[in-house]
Structure 1
Amino acid sequence: MTNILAIETSSDACSIALCKRDEDFLFHDVMPQQHTKKLLPLVDEMLINQDLSYQNLDAIAVGCGPGSFTGVRLACSVAQGLSYSLGISAIKVSSLEVMAEHFNKKYQAKKVVTLVNAHMGQLYLGIFEYEHELSSFSEVGIQIEEFDISDFGSETYFVGNGCDLVKKQLNKIKPKIYNHFPQAIDLLNIAKKRLAKGQIINPEMIVPVYLTGE
């Protein structure tokens, strides 16, 4: 039986999930610029509500961005500190993959493209393809004008706040478009799979990825 804490604060949403043995719990709320003040009290409250302490945790998962400077730095710092101090396993996941996981699980999407506004005329582009599980992915920063809709079809799911920046191109194929914040429950699902495969990292490898323009 494994207890896993997942923290995802790369966006305006403060998202925390906990796996207590085989049961999952989620807190997810949009609270811009309040992450620093709210995150640790919310984690404390979630653990207390489930009769757990930090010492009962077996692993910590973190969404490492790309995302807002404060949110990503905070999540990575907390995860790194807990992994070091408790001697527990760490799992680092791209926040783009966290978003894609949601749509694969909820809609059985075979191809998910995540677009995040990186500011200064740039996008973070993630392309995730699924068979029974994630089969291939790529993540890259591009200039907005480099985005090419001809690479994708109408069956593709487009996700993220960067979709508005390429709306004219997206309208050519009329795909499914969602402005979606990463959720810790999806991070938790990825973490479970990686933990089962032994895909863990040392805490010093928890490195944040910031938005280019910040």
Structure 2
Amino acid sequence: MKILAVDASTEACSAAVYVNGEIVERLTLTPRKHIELLMPMTKEVMEAAEIELNELHGLAFSVGPGSFAGLRIACGFVQGLGAGLNIPIVPVSTLAALAYPVLEEHPDAMVMPMLDAKMNEVYWAIYALDQDGELMIIEKDQVNSLEEVYAHLADKQYNVLAVGDGWGLEPESLTQLNGTLIEDRHYPRAGDIALLAKKDLEKGLGLYADQVAPVYLRHNIAMTIEEQKAFREEKAKGAEA
């Protein structure tokens, strides 16, 4: 299987190609320059992987939460490619993409990705792996002030591995939330988005260009991640019928 994935949801911008078990990826920190770099980075990884666009089986992108502008850029980018190539697209949660590689290394852990959402708020969730090694939602993707996060989790006594730049906003957050910081995991990566998308593409859960939209969380103007997944599952069932 060959998948192109992109991410522009945070200050980092990345593109990656998954080709039969191997990942070719490029990532750079470029605040407000995603629109300029996404196409060149895509061309670079495609050339490095030695494949053409017409060989791709699917596309994937970080659907949100994240920067409003960045989410729109990535969504529009894959919509254009997906429509032209007539191949499926998998929207992947930004927070799930942050959590997944840590869970691969620590399969018995719970991982709490947290990103700076500005306006004194954070995007956050908690993920784990189920007995089949599939990503499992413990706390769904949401946006809150840190005080609201503390209150929400006060009685739950989770011990979590902490990833994302949101953990740097308040020094006491690690103590308040029983977190152990993973130092080198501040931003999502397109390679991890591709790996998560592969699972859905294999199940026939891809969407087409006119069916994907960013998930902002802060404004209820698009389908939530859970709604998009349910939509994809219904689509897959219809294809089997």
Task: Provide TM-score, normalisation by structure 1.
Answer: 0.88
Q: 2:194 aligns with which of 172, 188, 193?
A: 188
8 Å CA contact 2:114–2:122 kept in 1: the answer is yes
Q: 1:153 aligns with which of 155, 158, 163?
A: 158
Gaps of 5+ in 2: 220-241
Query: 2:53: which partner in 1?
Result: 54
User: Secondary structure, in 3 states, of the residue corresponding to 1:108?
Assistant: coil
- How many Å separate the matches in 1 of 2:178 and 2:145? 22
8 Å CA contact 2:18–2:191 kept in 1: the answer is no
- How many Å separate the matches in 1 of 2:169 and 2:217? 15
- How many Å separate the matches in 1 of 2:177 and 2:147? 17
Relative distance call for 1:144 and 1:212 in structure 2 (3 A) is same
Relative distance call for 1:6 and 1:145 in structure 2 (3 A) is same
Query: 2:234: which partner in 1?
Result: none
User: Secondary structure, in 3 states, of the residue corresponding to 2:51?
Assistant: coil
Deviation at 1:211, TM superposition (A): 7.3
Relative distance call for 1:21 and 1:130 in structure 2 (3 A) is closer
Query: 1:122: which partner in 2?
Result: 121
User: Secondary structure, in 3 states, of the residue corresponding to 2:171?
Assistant: helix
8 Å CA contact 1:118–1:211 kept in 2: the answer is no
Instruction: Identify the range of structure 1 (200-209 vs 190-199) with the bigger mean alpha-carbon deviation.
Output: 200-209
The one-letter amino acid paired with 1:135 is: M
Deviation at 1:173, TM superposition (A): 6.0
- How many Å separate the matches in 1 of 2:177 and 2:83? 48
- How many Å separate the matches in 2 of 1:191 and 1:198? 11
Deviation at 1:157, TM superposition (A): 0.9
Query: 2:143: which partner in 1?
Result: 141
Percent of residue pairs identical: 29
User: Secondary structure, in 3 states, of the residue corresponding to 1:97?
Assistant: helix
- How many Å separate the matches in 1 of 2:169 and 2:41? 34
Relative distance call for 1:173 and 1:200 in structure 2 (3 A) is closer
8 Å CA contact 2:111–2:161 kept in 1: the answer is yes
Q: Deviations over 1:30-60 (max 9, x none)?
A: 2222211111011112212333221111100
Deviation at 1:166, TM superposition (A): 4.5
8 Å CA contact 2:64–2:214 kept in 1: the answer is yes
Q: Deviations over 1:95-130 (max 9, x none)?
A: 011001121113335211122222222222212122
Relative distance call for 1:109 and 1:40 in structure 2 (3 A) is farther
- How many Å separate the matches in 2 of 1:48 and 1:136? 36
Does 2:21 align with 1:25? no
8 Å CA contact 2:174–2:180 kept in 1: the answer is no
Relative distance call for 1:169 and 1:26 in structure 2 (3 A) is closer
1:39-50 pair list within 5 angstroms: 39-50=38-49
8 Å CA contact 2:128–2:135 kept in 1: the answer is yes
Question: Structure 1 segments of 4 or more deviating over 6 A?
Answer: none
RMSD (CA atoms): 2.1
Query: 2:175: which partner in 1?
Result: 171
The one-letter amino acid paired with 1:171 is: T
Deviation at 1:212, TM superposition (A): 4.1
Q: Deviations over 1:155-214 (max 9, x none)?
A: x1122222233432422465212451001111111011111122212222321234749x
Query: 1:203: which partner in 2?
Result: 209
Instruction: Identify the range of structure 1 (61-70 vs 170-179) with the bigger mean alpha-carbon deviation.
Output: 170-179
Gaps of 5+ in 1: none
Deviation at 1:16, TM superposition (A): 1.1
Instruction: Identify the range of structure 1 (156-165 vs 2-11) with the bigger mean alpha-carbon deviation.
Output: 156-165
